[in-house]
Chain A
């Protein structure tokens, strides 16, 4: 089936806007509807659109297993890492006010709270995005790709040739 010029043209130009909107939703997590989970799912939906307009193999090249799989753990690491840094700075786990120091002003504590909250929301977003992208790629894997090793993922078969 030949790809539709209209769909591929509009779709390619829509993807940056979808990703920008995902970051906007992420930034709104503190004081409105939104946050890491919703932003991550919206970000992942741009990859779903990429699969629909460019095909599975081409989209997998832009989001290879070797990058997406580690990102799933990186988000968790960011979340837990910020929590443990709070402990190292003398607070409780995820006590963001510890970033401002022991005897900081209330305004500085609120500032530290906001930034640390954005940090953990970013961690949630990275993990959700990577998980959703992995789920979609595995569920939509076409039959001819079923037993082929991923490009550059370091499989034991050692044949990285792409169809």
Chain B
């Protein structure tokens, strides 16, 4: 394995771990806003890392350009969509989750 392949494998693993954490966050977090926070950020970074590794591994061709364009658009449109969803929920009056007072004994602090 060349150095380039090792670096790309590391990026693929990094992206997969980030997206796994993002998926876990979407399932485990308590309310709409925090789930959106997990999904929006994690997916953007994870997809970016995976696609960038694939773009480098595929050699320099037209496919590389297409993948770079996909990364570019994901980095612009994914946060925009997250912003639109969060803003829509806030304007409709979705209340953010706050820690209940009675469960303080379970908390770390």
B80 contacts A10, C-beta separation under 8 Å: yes
A7 contacts B80, C-beta separation under 8 Å: yes
Choose among B77, B83, B84, B91 the residue that contacts A14 (Cβ–Cβ < 8 A): B77
| B60: A residues at CB distance < 8 A | none
- Whose C-beta in chain A lies nearest to the C-beta of B87? A4
B76 within 8 A of A: yes
Choose among A1, A7, A17 the residue that contacts B91 (Cβ–Cβ < 8 A): A1
Question: Taking A4-B83, A4-B84 as contacts, is the C-beta distance between A10 and B91 under 8 angstroms?
Answer: no
- Whose C-beta in chain A lies nearest to the C-beta of B80? A10
Q: List CB contacts (< 8 Å) of B67-109 with chain A.
A: 73, 76-77, 80, 83-84, 87, 91
A7 contacts B73, C-beta separation under 8 Å: no
Closest-CB distance, B77 to chain A (whole angstroms): 7
| A4: B residues at CB distance < 8 A | 83-84, 87
B87 contacts A10, C-beta separation under 8 Å: no
B77 contacts A7, C-beta separation under 8 Å: no
A6 within 8 A of B: yes
| A17: B residues at CB distance < 8 A | 73
| A14: B residues at CB distance < 8 A | 76-77
Within the assembled complex, what's the spacing in Å between the Cα atoms of A7 and B84? 7
| B87: A residues at CB distance < 8 A | 4, 7
Within the assembled complex, what's the spacing in Å between the Cα atoms of A17 and B84? 20
Within the assembled complex, what's the spacing in Å between the Cα atoms of A14 and B79? 14
Question: Taking A14-B77, A17-B73 as contacts, is the C-beta distance between A6 and B83 under 8 angstroms?
Answer: yes
Closest-CB distance, B78 to chain A (whole angstroms): 11
Closest-CB distance, A118 to chain B (whole angstroms): 20
A/B interface sample: 5 pairs, CB < 8 A = A1-B91, A4-B84, A6-B80, A10-B77, A14-B77
